[in-house]
């Protein structure tokens, strides 16, 4: 929860689906309810300041059968091969995290699911949170799946860990066992659904999924290491905490000795600081915030489509002029910001 490259600590409304904090996909599969997701930088468990907060802003008092509200982390197949799922040697795994629920007083049954990359094998799980408005460490042991399909390509999605905030009946199944099908939440009477009540919120941090039956002590990585791991899936040129597409910073300089770049010609090549999981989808922004634009040496955005990407790979991409005409500046230099995503 320490890295939030896209939005920093800004609360983002989730009526649909998208990444907010790095590596966590927030999803709202119904229009009746809306919740926000944000990174919070203070007030976590002792020694763990950063956490994710999900807050109901428009309640869905009774989610329809196919409705779902949740957040998930997609795990690359590379990182679960040692679980040996779909074999007789499948290992048990242990999911652990800290959770704080703001709701009516009393213990809560909170749940979610583990799914394979094909979304046709699911293990709905539950944990008991003893009370509200306080941090509690919780964990659940999940038996290894000896059947199903768990052998995708190494860089594909091998598993998803899902945290339920409210789901309809068709997305629920009995907890505590592997089942065939795509399920997001436990089917257990009275389990906690945040989306049902306005202003309820769920705070989560220190999520770990490990091989074995014991939750290890949470040991935070350094900021630099955590950022590098996240950059395998998403990178940007903006400073930390700056939302892409805003007017900000000096950006990337291209000094190519030209005052004019003709249509389809390149300004320069962006090399990624970390090799990405797969060929990404880049985006280019002018320094004034314009999408698909390049800026001149003074930081002024130029023509529409004056900056876009070409020849992208897991190592970088070429920024080119696709405006349909020549783009002219001064001082023989160009500037822009960029993002690149190869999320699962």
Per-residue pLDDT reduced to its tens digit, 167-183: 999 999 999 999 999 99
Give the whole-angstrom CA distance, residue 316 versus residue 165: 37
Q: How far is CA 257 from CA 124, 254, 331, in A?
A: 59, 9, 8
Which percentage of the chain shows pLDDT scores above 90? 90
Residue 16 clears pLDDT 80, i.e. is over it: no
**Among 140, 141, 154, 144, CA closest to 89:** 144
Ordered by where they begin, the domains of the chain are 12-231 (2.60.120.260), 235-341 (2.60.40)
Give the whole-angstrom CA distance, residue 143 versus residue 140: 10
Instruction: Measure the CA angle with vertex 202, ends 93 and 134; round to 5°.
Output: 90
Q: Write down the H helix ranges in the chain.
A: 223-231
| Tokens found for residue 294 | 């390049």
Give the whole-angstrom CA distance, residue 155 versus residue 77: 6
**What contacts 324, CB < 8 A, 6 or more positions away?**
263, 305
Q: Give the model's pLDDT for residue 8.
A: 94
- pLDDT 10s digits, 255-309: 778 889 999 999 999 999 999 999 999 999 999 999 999 999 889 999 999 999 9
| Residue 329 pLDDT grade (very low, low, confident, very high; cuts 50, 70, 90) | confident
Mean confidence (pLDDT) of the chain: 95
Q: How many residues does the chain have?
A: 344
Give the whole-angstrom CA distance, residue 74 versus residue 49: 24
Q: Give the model's pLDDT for residue 93.
A: 98
Q: Computed from CA positions of residues 343, 118, 52, 232, in that sequence, does the dihedral angle turn out positive or negative?
A: negative
């Amino acid at each position: 929860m320490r890295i939030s490259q896209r939005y920093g600590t800004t609360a983002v409304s989730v009526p649909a689906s998208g990444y907010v904090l790095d590596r966590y996909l927030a999803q709202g599969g119904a229009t009746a309810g809306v919740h926000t997701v944000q990174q919070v930088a203070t007030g976590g468990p002792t020694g763990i300041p950063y956490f994710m907060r999900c807050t109901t802003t428009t309640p869905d008092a009774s989610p329809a059968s196919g409705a779902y509200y949740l957040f998930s982390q997609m795990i690359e197949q590379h990182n679960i091969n040692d679980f040996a799922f779909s074999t007789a040697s499948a290992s048990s795994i242990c999911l652990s995290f800290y959770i704080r629920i703001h709701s009516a007083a009393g213990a809560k049954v909170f749940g979610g699911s583990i799914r394979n990359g094909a979304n046709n094998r699911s293990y709905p799980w539950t944990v008991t949170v003893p009370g509200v408005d306080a941090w509690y460490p919780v964990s659940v042991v999940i038996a290894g799946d000896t059947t199903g399909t768990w052998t995708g390509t190494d860089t594909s999605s091998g598993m998803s860990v899902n945290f339920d905030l409210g789901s309809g009946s068709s997305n629920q199944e009995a907890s505590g066992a592997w089942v065939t099908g795509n399920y997001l939440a436990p089917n257990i009477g009275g389990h906690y659904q945040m989306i049902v009540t306005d202003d309820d919120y769920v705070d989560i941090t220190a999520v770990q999924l490990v091989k074995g039956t014991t939750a290890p002590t949470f040991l935070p990585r350094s900021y630099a290491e955590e950022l590098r791991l996240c950059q395998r899936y998403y990178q940007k040129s903006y400073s930390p905490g700056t939302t892409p597409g805003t007017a900000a910073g000096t950006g990337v300089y291209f000094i190519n000795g030209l005052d004019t770049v003709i249509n389809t010609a390149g300004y320069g090549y962006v090399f990624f600081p970390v090799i990405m999981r797969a060929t990404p989808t880049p985006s280019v922004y002018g320094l004034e915030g314009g999408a698909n634009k390049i800026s001149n040496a003074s930081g002024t955005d130029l023509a529409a489509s004056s900056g876009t990407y070409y020849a992208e790979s897991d190592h970088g991409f070429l920024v080119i002029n696709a405006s349909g005409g020549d783009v002219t500046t001064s001082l023989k230099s160009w500037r822009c910001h960029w993002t690149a995503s190869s999320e699962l």
